[in-house]
Amino acid sequence: MVIYLQGDLGSGKTTLVRSVLNALGYAGRVKSPTYTLVEPYYASGLDLIHFDLYRLHDEEEWEAAGFRDEFDGHNIFFIEWPKNALSFIPQADVEINFEILNQGRRVEILANTEMGSNA
């Protein structure tokens, strides 16, 4: 399953990933992969991969890191800043859009596939 997380810096993308992992029983530290681009996690029998593509420059960087190999149909992906890689990452099953308001946040969830609709 591929989940796009879209929104401005500080809108809650990593906080959502942290909350999902904690709800699944993950007790370790959940950090933003802003500088590493990717952080893998294992919780409740699931492999979760958290990408932050804010600093991704081009497809060559993606290929050199071997990230394409991660998309083998066995993982759940949370991808922040997907617009930086739309031409070489899989389509989102679910898109979650975050908007910072004067008071609070607005979150929109869109299911793009049957898998996303059933999640």
pLDDT digits (tens, 9 = 90+) for 37-94: 889 999 999 999 999 888 887 777 777 777 777 777 778 999 999 998 888 888 999 9
Q: What are the chain's domains?
A: 2-118 (3.40.50.300)
Confidence (pLDDT) at 74: 78
Burial class (CB in 10 A: 0-12, 13-18, 19+), 104: exposed
Q: What is the mean pLDDT of residues 3-22?
A: 93
Mean pLDDT of 27-41: 87
Arithmetic mean of pLDDT over the chain: 89
